[in-house]
Structure 1
Amino acid sequence: MFRNFTNLEELSLVDVNINSVLPASLNISSSLKSLSLLATGLQGKLPHYIFNLHSLEKLELSLNMLTGDIPSFITDNQTHLTYLGLSDNSLNGTLPSWLFTSPSLEHISLGGNMFSGNVPFDQTFRKLTNLTALTLSSNNFSGEWELDTFLTNNRNLETLYLSYSGFSVTTKNANHYVNPGFRQLTLASCKLKVFPNSFRAMKQLKVLDLSSNEIHGQIPHWAGEIGGDYGLVSLNLSHNFITGLPQFQWYGLEYLELQSNLIEGPFPPSICNMSNLWYLDMSNNRFGGLIPQCFGKLTSSLEMIDMGNNSFQGSIPSSYNDCGPLECTEFGLEEEEEKTCLHREMTLDNESVALE
């Protein structure tokens, strides 16, 4: 099909069900700049010749069933590759050195594979001065990653996914703030022990995931500045050892996970001002006291609430009768108040609600 397309520059077959093995060689236009075969059912080993296509700038092969590794060597004409997408395949092996020395690279997505080995971050990525997005999550890497040094050396970075990568993330926690343009940052299960000071400058952050780490104590008071008033959309601090929260004003927040910490004190009243919130999990903490009346304002947007395994007291606010799109609810109330909850369930207009 492509043999006569001698001047073809862009080929996109996204979501087309090819469901076959890429051939050992492909007679394709030498003018090709962009090749996207995302979610096409491709199988077999990742063909190394694709990396040597003379004019290729964008290569997107994510969401397939490819095996094998990334070639350890490519020809010099490939230094202008700007976009490399290989996420969600079954690739393995170590990452080649050329991947860290190609200054034209802007987007590297390798998550959801079986890559392994150590990546010496103090020596790598420094030449990737144009890098804006890096995804290495859900792999089998090893070794430590010193976060402050990496952020300082990659000031154009906007997206960093490292969750469940196998890396241990450390920080010197110096009071220097970089990367104000950061948009998405996920560091779940990276053995992080503190809430990094370097996050303070991230006024445009929309997604922050620090779940399943080893963060202890009180979240710093300035954390409420992250993302500005309306920037932060998703925050996950679950499964840590956090004891207290700052005063925050994340009015645009839609997704908030605080479960499985050691957080004490009353229900944070600032949550009542999150009019866009649709997912709230505060379960398995040490919250106590009354659920404030202002909580009723959230029921028009909330689809899931879990406040179980806490020490809340009193009754659910009366405005809770109007459940809007609510699908699942759990409250951790004392036994006497629990009877009130079960009775109120009968008046929720057939919504699928489970009250604890």
Structure 2
Amino acid sequence: MDSPALGFSVSTAAMQPASTGLSFHQLYRRRQRVTALNLSYLCLQATISPRIGNLSFLVLLDLSNNSFSGFLPHEIRSLRRLRILRLSFNKLEGRIPPSIHQCRELRRVYLRGNYLTGAIPSSFRNMSSLELLNLEGNSLSGPVALGIFNISSLIVIALTDNHLSGNLPTNLYSHCPNLQGLYLSSNEFSGQLPSQLNLSCRELVILSLSYNKFNGSIAEGFGSLEKLEVLHLGGRRHSNNITGNIPTTISNLSRLQEPFHSRNHIKGSIPNSELSCPNLELLLAAGNSLSGHIPYYLSNCFKLIYLDFSANLFSGPIPKCFGTLEDLQVLSLDGNKLTGKSGDQVLSFLSTLSNCRFLERLTMSFNPLNIIIPDSVGNFSASLKTIDASQSQLKGHIPMGISSLKGLTFLDLSNNNLSGSIPSTLGGIEGLQRLYLRDNKLEGIIPDDLCQLRNLGELFLSNNKISGSIPNC
């Protein structure tokens, strides 16, 4: 296989999984000025020879996505012209050689997805040309040398999914004016969130701090990050311990696509200042102590796909504005204090959701809604798979039109005040796997039509007023 761009030729046989065939020593003895060595995605199983240091003209070394094992040799320090080092997704172990800083021309370092241990060498701070440092998915531990955050050329720092600890400096971004991505999630960092956010970090696009042990509040300065698109401070499981209110300046972030603050202790209401969020796609704030009404101006977020306000203290009626979010796929409002409008017998917001043609999941359980399910529920998205409205004080009959939701696999209307009979049309939802109607006031017989639900795995009808025989399916 000829590779003129790499400055050498190597046979196909040499690319077999058990051997690299052409050793680094052989390349050196050919006296060719090899400037780029790309052996990525070749299923190679080997160790990296110390003789790699003899390829002193290398600018690019890419051995990623193989099965290289053993230690990263210290001789790599001899690659003084090296600019790009790609060793991700191998089986390298041990420590990162502190002498790597002698590769002073290094711009990009990719060591993601290995078994590297120990601390991140403090000598990285001497690599004044470094633009990208990706050490994600290893077992690195200990504090990060603060000098790394003083490298003004850095564009991306990616340290996610390690065991790194310690506090971050409050002026974390002051010396990284070009920083666009900071990925520190899934570590053991602690202390206060960085608070000194100003024009010095105006290039920041992605800030990911989820699944650590940070505390404190979200600083007003976050509102100055005008290019910020992704802000991850929480997660779907226990994450940080962020407290306080959401600052009003957050409304300045017009490019924001993914604010992710779930499972913290953020309180207060969503800022009253109208949010301009034309690019917002995910709004995840579950498991906090947010209160007040859900603001109507969320209709401005017309690209919204996923909205999760579950497990908070929101109150008042669910706004009709959700019906204008035509791209909405997930709406989770369960575990709040939301109600229907006073005197409104039909849950009007549900009627508007028929405009959300891509809706797949709707959860509104554990709210004192005290309303009737409208017949228009049958006009919901054909993509709808989950409806969970358990323990929400629903009343009236289960509408016959619900059978139009042919894609439904999960329906939970348990622990409500529903009355009347079980609609025979439920048997037409052929993909239904879970049907929960227990703890209501349903009466009459179990319709034979339910025998058509060939995929049904669970059917709960207990604590109703149902009579007659069980269908012989």
Q: Please tell me the TM-score bracket, short chain as reference.
A: 0.7 to 0.9
Runs of at least 5 residues in structure 2 that lack an aligned partner in the other structure: 1-22, 28-32, 37-58, 235-239, 341-346, 400-412, 414-421, 438-473
Structure 2 Cα separation of the partners of residues 17 and 63 of structure 1? 11
Structure 1 Cα separation of the partners of residues 178 and 308 of structure 2? 33
Runs of at least 5 residues in structure 1 that lack an aligned partner in the other structure: none
1:250-289 matches, within 5 Å, as: 250-289=301-340
Is the CA contact (8 Å cut-off) linking 1:92 and 1:116 kept in structure 2?
yes
Instruction: Give identity over the alignment, percent.
Output: 26
Structure 1 Cα separation of the partners of residues 428 and 284 of structure 2? 32
1:303 aligns with 360
Q: By how many angstroms is 1:70 displaced?
A: 0.6
Equivalent of 1:347 in 397, 415, 428:
428
1:241 aligns with 289
- Alpha-carbon RMSD across the aligned residues, in angstroms, is 2.7
Structure 2 vs 1, CA of residues 347 and 38 (structure 1 numbering), >3 Å: closer, same or farther? farther
1:40-189 matches, within 5 Å, as: 40-74=90-124, 76=126, 78-122=127-171, 124-147=172-195, 149-171=196-218, 173=220, 177-188=223-234, 189=240
Structure 2 Cα separation of the partners of residues 200 and 57 of structure 1? 35
Secondary structure at the aligned position of 2:359 is classed as coil
Deviations 1:227-280 (A, max 9, x none): 23xx00111111111122222221101111100001112222111111111122
Structure 2 vs 1, CA of residues 338 and 281 (structure 1 numbering), >3 Å: closer, same or farther? farther
2:385 aligns with 327
Structure 1 Cα separation of the partners of residues 264 and 336 of structure 2? 16
Equivalent of 2:83 in 11, 23, 33:
33
Q: Which moved more, 1:78-87 or 1:181-190?
A: 181-190
Structure 2 vs 1, CA of residues 241 and 338 (structure 1 numbering), >3 Å: closer, same or farther? farther
2:8 aligns with none
Structure 1 Cα separation of the partners of residues 198 and 215 of structure 2? 15
The residue type paired with residue 115 of structure 1 is: L
Structure 1 Cα separation of the partners of residues 92 and 386 of structure 2? 38
Structure 1 Cα separation of the partners of residues 94 and 190 of structure 2? 26
1:224 aligns with 275
The residue type paired with residue 35 of structure 1 is: L
Structure 2 Cα separation of the partners of residues 355 and 297 of structure 1? 26
Structure 1 Cα separation of the partners of residues 378 and 159 of structure 2? 44
Q: By how many angstroms is 1:139 displaced?
A: 1.5
| 1:214 pairs with 2:265 | yes
Structure 2 Cα separation of the partners of residues 17 and 58 of structure 1? 19
Structure 2 Cα separation of the partners of residues 199 and 318 of structure 1? 37
Secondary structure at the aligned position of 1:42 is classed as strand
Equivalent residues, number: 347
Deviations 1:159-200 (A, max 9, x none): 1111222222435648x9522111111122242311023322
Secondary structure at the aligned position of 1:115 is classed as strand
Structure 2 vs 1, CA of residues 170 and 217 (structure 1 numbering), >3 Å: closer, same or farther? closer
Structure 1 Cα separation of the partners of residues 354 and 429 of structure 2? 14
Structure 2 Cα separation of the partners of residues 75 and 127 of structure 1? 12
Q: TM-score of the superposition, structure 1-length normalised?
A: 0.87
Structure 1 Cα separation of the partners of residues 435 and 104 of structure 2? 59
